[in-house]
A and B are shown apart, each in its own frame.
Chain A
Amino acid sequence: MRQCSRPIGFKIINSARPVRKNRIGGKPRRPIAQSKLIFLTLIVVWPLAACAYMPTIQPVDAGRQYRVEARCRSIYPEGRLQLVHAINARFHRGYHTALTGVIILSPADSRVHCVLMTLEGFVLFEAEDNGTVTVNRAFGPFDNPEFAKGIMRDIRLIFLAPEGEMQTAGTFADGTEGCRFRTDDNRFVDVVGAADGSWQIKQYKPLKTVALDALDPSGFSSRLTLHAGGKASYTLVMTLIEATSLQ
């Protein structure tokens, strides 16, 4: 099933070369026939390009589909859980900083509690998200409502199964298996399992990818990397220090 997305089409239109002006009169030099041709080309290419943006998942038989779906869901932890990570944050232009992150996940009621602190142990940010983000403590650059929402979105993307329907499960062109979710807020998220046991979570619009090392026997990835694209791109490398069940 192919999924198409409008924004890529807008990007194509916007990336068209600007029309150059004539030296005299300032009118477009591009003849009308050429403009029509470009327009027609865009009409044809736009949907194709938009569809290429999100790879096709080939359906598989019902039995295999069931197994693929189960594998996709297996990467998300179950039960109440406390995770401690060393976080290495890399921003555009290559700037780095390091933090320690404590996350309490309650998948059953979709709650997240997050604490970020310096390596020296000073708490910079503490917030809870039960559908509404409540910031309990925030300092300096972390004292920003958009930051709080953004970090909770990232935590949910990484650790909680997307809220919405699993639209399809099957194989990608390269043979890897995966699933596509359509979330309640109309985003698409792919969960893709590689042959070596590693995983990738890919969210479209805004584009974010999470690469997870193969899960250990207790079901956790010891290292994961989130990359957010765009103008203010960033990369978070999260190394698991400890995972504790709070059941």
Chain B
Amino acid sequence: MKRIEIINNRVSDDPFPSRVKRFGGRCLFAALVMVASLGLGWADSWESIRNAASRVDSISADFVQEKHLPILTKPLISKGRLLYRRPDALRWEYTSPVKSVLLMHGGDARRFIQSDRGLVEDVSVRLQAMQFVMPEISGWLGGRFQGNPMFDAKLTGINTIVLVPKDPGMARFIQRIELLMSDRPGVIEQVLIFESDDAFTRMAFSNTQVNPALDDRLFQEVQ
């Protein structure tokens, strides 16, 4: 695999106000719900979800993301792959149309984006957000949706979980999230994130592997 230059822009003083950081944290938090849901499945009761989730230690999947907006003549399509390893390692990578990589490991989160100078770090995502996000992910991957401080969860229809934000700030951002489970335990088919009734993101997963061996390097290095 071709190695891509990383330009590290970390400096001691930070130009982004705390408002930006909080907002970035919220974006990241919402987005991570999609990732966490990958580890679920076989969802006809909370107990079966917890049972299926308890057997998931790592996940690898490709995804196609469709963005639907009223002003778009056709949805915007992005592609990429996700890797997760319990308890706190994540690689969320877009390969098209714009390359970007979000890496989380050991409580640290960094995102790199394509630029004319190679992959450069996006400091708006370099947050303390992981202090509260990772415990949430662990909870979700453990199938513990009930009692979650951020979302009300309910099982609806066949193999579908609906998450509704409790926090008014989050509710302005995300109306609800629908997780559609595959027949295969521990595997999800798609995630729908509704920002409003006519604006939503659909993520469809494929080539999902449960419990693959994932090297540390995948969560620490952009390559």
**Interface residue ranges, A against B (CB under 8 Å):** 82, 84, 86, 88, 90-98, 100, 102, 104, 113, 115, 117-124, 139-141, 237, 239, 241, 244, 246
Residues of A within 8 A of B172 (CB): 139
Chain B residues closer than 8 Å to A123, beta-carbon distance: 69, 195, 199
Contact B65 A121 (CB under 8 A): yes
In the assembled complex, the Cα of A120 lies from the Cα of B193 at a distance in Å of 11
State how many angstroms separate the Cβ of A116 from the closest Cβ of chain B: 12
A-binding segment of B70-78, B139-147, B160-168, B178-186: B70-78
Contact flag A100-B98 (CB < 8 Å), given A82-B72, A139-B23:
yes
Chain B: number of interface residues, binned into ranges: 35 or more
Chain B residue at minimum C-beta to C-beta distance from A128: B71
CA distance A96 to B31 in the complex (A): 20
In angstroms, Cα B107 to Cα A86, docked, is: 29
Min Cβ gap B7→A in Å is 8
12 pairs, CB–CB < 8 Å, chain A vs chain B: A84-B76, A95-B123, A96-B115, A97-B122, A98-B100, A100-B76, A102-B76, A119-B78, A123-B199, A140-B24, A141-B19, A246-B73
Query: Which residues 78-131 in B have Cβ within 8 Å of A in the complex?
Result: 78, 94, 97-98, 100, 113-116, 120-124
B173: Cβ under 8 A from any A Cβ: yes
CB distance from B47 to the nearest CB of A (A): 31
A84: min CB distance to chain B, Å: 6
Instruction: Please measure, in the bound complex, the distance between the C-alpha atom of A244 and the C-alpha atom of B75, giving whole angstroms.
Output: 12
Bound CA–CA A102/B195 (angstroms): 17
Q: Is the CB of A140 within 8 A of B23?
A: yes
Q: How far is the CA of A82 from the CA of B75 in the complex (A)?
A: 12
Contacts of A100 in B (CB 8 A): 67, 76, 98
Q: Which residues of B contact A95 (CB under 8 A)?
A: 9, 15-16, 123
B17 touches A102 (CB 8 A): no
Interface class of chain B by DSSP: mixed
Which of these, A86, A93, A98, A102, contacts B72 with CB under 8 Å?
Answer: A102
- CB neighbours of B16 from chain A (8 A): 95
From A88, A139, A141, give the contact of B173 (CB < 8 A).
A139
B158 at the interface (CB under 8 A from A): no
Q: Is B55 an interface residue (CB 8 A)?
A: no
B69 touches A115 (CB 8 A): yes
Chain A nearest Cβ from B92, distance in angstroms: 8
Residue on A with the closest CB to B199?
Answer: A123
Chain A residues whose C-beta falls within 8 Å of the C-beta of B30 in the assembled complex: 122
Say if the beta carbon of B1 comes within 8 Å of chain A. no
A123-B195, A141-B19 given as contacts; is B100 within 8 A of A96 (CB)?
no
Instruction: Give min CB distance, B163 to chain A, whole Å.
Output: 15
Nearest chain A CB to B35's CB is how many angstroms away? 10
User: Is A241 in contact with B97, judged by CB distance below 8 angstroms?
Assistant: yes
Contact between B113 and A122, CB atoms less than 8 A apart: no
Chain B residues contacting A82 (CB-CB under 8 Å) are 71-73
Closest to A240 in B: B97
Extra contacts, 10 of them, besides A82-B71, A92-B15, A121-B65 (Cβ < 8 A), are A86-B98, A96-B122, A97-B123, A98-B113, A100-B76, A115-B69, A121-B76, A140-B20, A241-B76, A246-B73
A-chain residues with CB within 8 Å of residue B114 when the two chains form the complex: 88, 98
Q: How far is the CB of A239 from chain B (nearest CB, A)?
A: 8
Would you call B23 and A141 a contact (CB within 8 A)? yes
Residue of B31, B124, B201 touching A97 (CB-CB under 8 A): B124
Within 8 Å CB of B201, what residues of A? 120-122
Residue of B nearest to A237 (CB): B116
Q: How far is the CA of A118 from the CA of B67 in the complex (A)?
A: 11
**Quick check: A96 and B17 within 8 Å, CB to CB?**
no
Q: How far is the CA of A121 from the CA of B174 in the complex (A)?
A: 12
**B121 and A96 contacting across the interface, CB-CB below 8 Å:** yes
Write the chain B residue with the least CB distance to A239.
B98
CA distance A124 to B28 in the complex (A): 13
Per the bound structure, the CA–CA distance linking A102 and B16 in Å amounts to 25
Interface string of B19-39 (1 = CB under 8 A from A): 110111011001100000000
